[in-house]
Amino acid sequence: MATADKEKKLKEGWEGISRFFRANSLWMLMYCTGCCAIELPQAMTSRYDMERLGMGPMATPRQADVLLVTGYLSVKTLRRVIYAYEQMSTPKYIVAFGPCTINGGIYHDAATVIKSLDQYLPIDVYIAGCMPKPEAVMNGFQDLIDMIKDKTADGWKRYRDNYDWYKQNQIESLGELRIKDEYHE
Ligand code: SF4
């Protein structure tokens, strides 16, 4: 086998190993925006025990891999969620809970509630249910783990590649944001 092929195979091997370990050791930043958050304690404690998936809570965005958005977001809260996401280092993932993150859910006609979170931030996994049962939460986390292993959890790349579009939507709804633009430097 030619040296270039060997190097390519070796690189793919190391990347696969690193993805495997990353997927099985995820730190979550829980941004408990709405009532969906009430199902997290059940998923975290002994009955469902999400730590067996290698997932645990993290207090700061800079050390977290996964941002959990647990339900509806007001315009004010969205700003904080964007700041938190921007502080996380790549690769990073977002899991969104409930229909409120898709279309505003039962708050769809409220002027201060964000209707479509994916206009502002890239979502990797949606978890269905208002509010989602702990079983659904565990399934959603398992989906994320599988997606990381097979390289389809690529929200952070979509954010990087379409940064101007995300930024424009953010500014239209929130005005100027205090974010360092790392993608155009
Ligand atoms: S989806 Fe349902 S449970 Fe979740 S934040 Fe919206 S109203 Fe609350």
Of ligand 1's listed atoms, the one at least distance from the Cα of 33 is 5
Question: 118-136, pLDDT tens digit by residue?
Answer: 999 999 999 999 999 999 9
Cβ neighbors of 130 (< 8 A, separation 6 or more) are 36, 98, 99, 100, 105, 106
The pLDDT of residue 31 is 82
Query: Which residues share a beta bridge with 124?
Result: none
Q: How confident is the model at residue 183 (pLDDT cuts 50, 70, 90)?
A: low
Interval between CA 28 and ligand 1 midpoint (Å): 20
Interval between CA 52 and ligand 1 midpoint (Å): 26
SS (H, E, C) 19-78: HHHHHCCEEEEEECCCHHHHHHHHHHCCCCCHHHHCEEECCCHHHCCEEEECCCCEHHHH
Cβ atoms of 34 and 98 closer than 8 Å: yes
* Top mutation candidate among 70, 74, 97, 114 for ligand 1, by most atoms within 8 Å of CB: 97
Question: 23-37, pLDDT tens digit by residue?
Answer: 999 999 988 888 999
Q: How confident is the model at residue 4 (pLDDT cuts 50, 70, 90)?
A: confident
Question: 37-81, pLDDT tens digit by residue?
Answer: 999 999 999 999 999 999 999 999 999 999 999 999 999 899 999
106 CB within 6 A, ligand 1: yes
Q: How confident is the model at residue 6 (pLDDT cuts 50, 70, 90)?
A: confident
The pLDDT of residue 12 is 81
Interval between CA 37 and ligand 1 midpoint (Å): 9
Q: How confident is the model at residue 185 (pLDDT cuts 50, 70, 90)?
A: low
72 CB within 6 A, ligand 1: yes
Q: How confident is the model at residue 184 (pLDDT cuts 50, 70, 90)?
A: low
Q: How many CB atoms lie under 10 A from the CB of residue 53?
A: 18
Tell me the fold of 21-174.
Rossmann fold (3.40.50)
Q: How confident is the model at residue 178 (pLDDT cuts 50, 70, 90)?
A: confident
Question: 84-117, pLDDT tens digit by residue?
Answer: 999 999 999 999 999 999 999 999 999 899 999 9
